[in-house]
Amino acid sequence: MGAINIYERPRIPIPFPVPDGDFTLLIGDWYKSSHKTLQAYLDSGRTLSFPDGVLINGQTYSTFSGDQGKTYMFRISNVGMSTSLNFRIQGHSMKLVEVEGSHTVQNMYDSLDVHVGQSVAVLVTLNQAPKDYYIIASSRFNRKNLTTTAILHYSNSRTPASGPLPAAPSYGFHGSMMQARTYRWNLTASAARPNPQGSYHYGKITPTKTIVLANSAPLINGKRRYAVNRFFQNDEITMQSWHLDGYDFWVIGYGNDQWTPAKRSLYNLDDALTRHTVQVYPKSWTAIYVSLDNQGNVEHEVCNMGKAVSWAAILSQSLDSSPQPCK
């Protein structure tokens, strides 16, 4: 089992030089218990236990090799069940260029938080002394830290990786939210079609409906179920990830406490990213815009991924027959 990577068609330009190669890294938490045992935990009214470890590509040791002076794309996906992870490479900066199919404004980062169900792509130039370097994925927002490493190997290296691992970020939920706000849409880059991503001005569309989805964790018939009351509002003390099946959406805002209509003044209506899965921080909210542009009467599955296989909610809406312009 591995990743499915979708590349641009040859006639669609990309907003960066073609990398000299690319690597796929599937990072995620890992449980010794089987999925049936974990399901039984939820069915007994308990929450999932703390994971037993973190893996990269299903292993505790992997090596990725490249040539000094060349630039490589690292495609990183959090395929775990409940744990946000921080990704970093010893001695190297990362240029963020893509988030779940959207080209981004190309900012540099020393580390990136990747939440459950999310994918990012970064460019890394092998511009350091020829040796091996640690690649690190470590858990976030937990009292107990779980860390795993892989190796970035320079092809002309004769020196193994050494020294202390680069420290995990010292900031907590607020700092992670601030980092997420720096992810911006590259409005001049081409999307799936030759027209630029920013040719569809989502911020000028008047929303026709506001839907608030607030997660909670009640016991139903003695079983732990993570339920929807009726926006993405997280009233729990744990991170949540939400996924809209079959659609992407613009992530237009994050904030603390309860969402109110006054929070609309904080929205990014110019260059918010489109993506398929978004994090909602504890005791916080996340706002999205979504264009339900399939014709007819359809159902959309909205899944809370933060608690494994716990539940899914269905939204139904009769949609306008006129298609939206492509983005």
Q: Grade residue 15 by pLDDT with cuts at 50, 70 and 90.
A: very high
Q: Grade residue 325 by pLDDT with cuts at 50, 70 and 90.
A: very low
Least confident of 202-211, 217-226, 227-236: 217-226
Does domain 197-318 bear CATH number 2.60.40.420?
Answer: yes
Q: Grade residue 11 by pLDDT with cuts at 50, 70 and 90.
A: confident
3-state SS track over the chain:
CCCCCCCCCCCCCCCCCCCCCEEEEEEEEECCCCHHHHHHHHHCCCCCCCCCEEEECCECCCEEEECCCCEEEEEEEECCCCCCEEEEECCECEEEEEECCEEECCCEECEEEECCCCEEEEEEECCCCCCEEEEEEEECCCCCCCEEEEEEEECCCCCCCCCCCCCCCCCCHHHHHHHHHCCCECCCCECCCCCEHHHCCHHHCCCCCCCCEEEECCEECCEECCEECCCEEECCCCCEEEEECCCCEEEEEEEECCCCHHHHHHCCCCCCCEECEEEECCCEEEEEECCCCCCCEEEEEEEECCCCCCCEEEEEEECCCCCCCCC
Does residue 3 or residue 154 have the better pLDDT? Answer: 154
Q: What is the model's pLDDT at position 170?
A: 87
Q: 22-179: what fold?
A: Immunoglobulin-like (2.60.40)
pTM: 0.85
Q: Where are the domains of the chain?
A: 22-179, 197-318
Least confident of 125-134, 193-202, 287-296, 314-323: 314-323
Q: What is the model's pLDDT at position 311?
A: 30
Q: What is the model's pLDDT at position 150?
A: 98
Place of tokens 């779940």: 100
pLDDT tens digits, 266-312: 999 999 999 999 999 999 999 988 876 655 444 445 565 543 322 33
Same fold, 22-179 and 197-318: yes
